Amino acid sequence: MLGLGEPTHGTAEAFALKLEVIHELARSGSLAMLAFEESFTVGLQVDAALRGWGDLDAAWDLGSSLWNTATIREGLRTLQEITGTLDEARRPRFLGVDVSKPYRTARALLERGAQAPALRAVAARDALTAVGVSALVEACHALEADGDPQTAALAQNLRRHADAYLLAPDLTRLHRRDAHMADTLLENLPHQGITVLWAHNEHLARNPEGWGGPTMGHLLGQALGERYVPVGMLCGEGECRAVDPSTGRDDYAVVPLSPVHADTTDRALAELGRAVVTSEEFVHPGPRRFIGWQVDTSLFTDPRAVRDTFEVRRPSTDFSALIHLPCSTADATAPRAVLR
């Protein structure tokens, strides 16, 4: 399993590099599966579209706006073209490993004939009481015992969403999301070939205490040992596609990256002047910069706030290798055919 990270959720150079690797593995017939930090239910739609059984852009429209970028959409279209030239038995799978988009999962279960008031409430995006959450979990357990594998998989994914989010609305169980993503991936791991895992650096990192518990990468490393190869990506100055709360807007825009401090792994890699280093060649105690989907630029003038918000105090050995991108360019938001 090759984990390909990214320094932000909106760096075009990182996306392009990952897609180049994925395309080359697909062309050679080595790619068995592309696992993505995206909803399990959406992943089923994308997998079908990549195999020629649906519209790829329409399937991607169902997913997170986080991944709705020009580079990713074009890269998926290219992957579809490549896989279309392969025998059906050699075409890679697409797997959404996340427990997000619960309303889509509930709708998929209802379409398959499931009947439960809690499912209908989630499908309608209604808020659930504690009693409603318990009823949802109970309904999912019953459906997991169903003889149909896809119904059982959908119900399991919805129950896992409840475990990570609904059982603790204050997000004290958020670390369970990573555990569930790891379990979903391991349960669907192909018997042979290379699986590429697409996610943020900090989900891939071998960190036992990511969000109060082990990250997906830590759990995958425990399960797979040396067969799990996480590659992190760090970058220099520049911009990314993100939401900036200081503007009062909630849409994605071009946002500057947070400052890079002198003692960071990012700066050490830049000074080293090498594009790729393995964990045997390069060891740094950290911290490293962490930028997610949201970048509050109002914090940039406060060095302590920058440290607390945009840095992770972890060593470079969380990864098997690190790639350094000299700069970061914000990816462009792709127009959606249908907004849901």
Helix residue spans in 255-299 (DSSP H): 265-272
Q: Looking at residue 3, what is its pLDDT?
A: 98
Query: CA 210, CA 200: separation in Å to the nearest integer?
Result: 12
Angle of helix 216-224 relative to helix 175-187, nearest 10 degrees, comes to 40
Bridge partners for 277 per DSSP: 322
Residue 171's region, left for phi above 0, alpha for psi from -120 to 50, else beta, is: left
Q: What secondary structure does DSSP assign to 287-310, as a single string?
A: -EE---SB--GGGTT-HHHHHHHH
Q: Where are the domains of the chain?
A: 2-226, 232-328
Is residue 273 classed as helix, strand or coil in its secondary structure?
coil
Q: What is the pLDDT of residue 79?
A: 97
**Chain CA centroid to CA 334, Å:** 18
Residues 76 and 56 sit within 8 Å (Cβ to Cβ): yes
**What residues form DSSP beta bridges with 322?**
232, 277
Do 240 and 14 meet the contact criterion of CB atoms below 8 Å apart? no
Predicted local distance difference test score (pLDDT) of residue 340: 37
Furthest CA-CA distance within the chain? 60
d(CA 24, CA 76): 13
Written as tens digits, the pLDDT of the chain (340 aa) is: 999 999 999 999 999 999 999 999 999 999 999 999 999 999 999 999 998 888 999 999 999 999 999 999 999 999 999 999 999 888 999 999 999 999 999 999 999 999 999 999 999 999 999 999 999 999 999 999 987 999 999 999 999 999 999 999 898 999 999 999 999 999 999 999 999 999 999 999 999 999 899 999 999 999 999 999 999 999 999 999 999 999 999 999 999 999 999 999 999 999 999 999 999 999 999 999 999 999 999 999 999 999 999 999 999 999 999 999 999 999 999 987 543 3
List of residues 6+ apart from 19 with CB closer than 8 A: 71, 72, 75, 78, 79
